[in-house]
Homo-oligomer: A and B are copies of this chain.
Amino acid sequence: MIIVLKKHTTREQIDGILELIKAQGLKPLYMPGTEKVVLGALGDERKLAGLQLENLPFVEKVVPILTPYKLASRDLYPTETVLTVGEEAVGTPNFTVIAGPCSVENEEQIMTTAEFVSSLGIKFLRGGAFKPRSSPYAFQGLGVEGLKLLAAASKQYQLNIVTEVMSPDEVEVVAQHAHILQIGARNMYNIRLLEAVGATQKPVLLKRGMSATIEDLLMSAEYVLDRGNRNVILCERGIRTFENAYRNTLDITAVPVLKQKTHLPVIVDPSHAAGYREFVVPLAKAALVSGADGIIVETHPDPAQALSDGRQSLYFKQLTTLMRQLRNLASIEGKILP
């Protein structure tokens, strides 16, 4: 940790900090410059974080050298995490495709979709039962009824279910029916929810918040990991910027950055990034070649009639084309796509 002091800091104040550093078992360093005095602390500086040295009126800034997360860090855990979900492996070099409608709407819709995605060799079905919507007047999902429909589809077509959980008290019921618990972008900072899914051993698909930095996303993962659940999959799904020609700005660079910083699997949601189905296919392909471990993509038997997000849902024939293109790219890139 590097501590930059303001001009005119007294020798006494400086010595005070050097003592604090020593008291934490770290090695202090004194670096008087011509314009500013700089101090250093060598060792596990996370011990100093609690002291909040930046509170001191004569401290100009504190520059951490180490990352604030540990369990999510590739520096400390260099081996890629590969999760087992049902009979499937998620994580490098597997390329996992999760497909399905935004919301579960009725039995026919979800069964038709399950049958279709299964016919393409896809092993994971997505579908929302509890839906966080911008408006209280919009369709809020079928709730537990939706979970049961998903479970039925899972049984009939041997699909693993990915569905969202919105509140700590819903974790139990969602975990009974689903194989992967999704934390939506709106809830990435919902700490009680992170703690609740962290207390299970269910795989967690953690979506990046709209304005979350890559470090924020890793800190949210750290909450889950710290509670004892090591089965976390990260998902880049677009961030909020000034551009409004589409829904969210897909941060494609986050993929190689995350693969460098963490051992956790990283997937991409091209549907919520694009917002318009005509841009979903190029983004899904970009995800694969940039190093992602999978995608989660929306499809619907009749997008024009979808109760939510129909504008970004692929037609079945588009999904067929996408799968063929992804398989071609996977073969070049050394990814396994069943």
Q: Contact residues of A with B, CB < 8 Å?
A: 2, 4, 7, 29, 31-36, 38, 40, 42-44, 46, 49-50, 52, 54-57, 63, 65-66, 68-69, 75, 132-139, 166-170, 186-187, 189-193, 209-211, 213-216, 219, 222-223, 226, 239-246, 249-257, 260, 273-274, 278-279, 282-283, 285-291, 303-308, 310-311, 313, 325, 328-329, 332
Residues of B within 8 A of A137 (CB): 46, 49-50, 68, 226
Assess A138 versus B50: contact at CB under 8 Å? Given A189-B186, A192-B166. Answer: yes
Distance, CA A40 to CA B39, complexed state (A): 10
For the complex with contacts A246-B253, A250-B252, 18 further pairs of A-B residues with Cβ separation under 8 Å are: A29-B31, A31-B42, A36-B66, A68-B135, A68-B137, A133-B191, A134-B219, A167-B192, A210-B211, A213-B243, A241-B251, A242-B242, A252-B283, A253-B274, A285-B290, A286-B290, A289-B289, A289-B329
Cross-chain contact B246 with A134 (CB below 8 angstroms): no
Distance, CA A192 to CA B329, complexed state (A): 41
Least Cβ distance of A326 to chain B in Å? 10
Distance, CA A55 to CA B278, complexed state (A): 12
Choose one: B57, B69, B166, B282; the contact of A289 (CB below 8 Å). Answer: B282
Choose one: B187, B253, B285; the contact of A249 (CB below 8 Å). Answer: B253
Least Cβ distance of A46 to chain B in Å? 7
Residues of B within 8 A of A313 (CB): 55
Choose one: B35, B65, B222; the contact of A4 (CB below 8 Å). Answer: B65
Least Cβ distance of A79 to chain B in Å? 15
Cross-chain contact B279 with A283 (CB below 8 angstroms): no
Choose one: B4, B40, B63, B69; the contact of A31 (CB below 8 Å). Answer: B40
Residues of B within 8 A of A216 (CB): 134
Least Cβ distance of A177 to chain B in Å? 18
Cross-chain contact B250 with A253 (CB below 8 angstroms): yes
Residues of B within 8 A of A134 (CB): 68, 216, 219
Cross-chain contact B274 with A283 (CB below 8 angstroms): no
Residue of chain B at shortest CB distance from A226: B136
Distance, CA A35 to CA B310, complexed state (A): 26
Cross-chain contact B168 with A167 (CB below 8 angstroms): yes
Cross-chain contact A283 with B253 (CB below 8 angstroms): yes
Residues of B within 8 A of A253 (CB): 245-246, 249-250, 273-274, 279, 283
Cross-chain contact B211 with A55 (CB below 8 angstroms): no
Distance, CA A192 to CA B68, complexed state (A): 29
Residues of B within 8 A of A239 (CB): 211, 241-243, 249
Residues of B within 8 A of A219 (CB): 134-136
Least Cβ distance of A241 to chain B in Å? 5
Residues of B within 8 A of A169 (CB): 168-169
Residues of B within 8 A of A57 (CB): 303-304
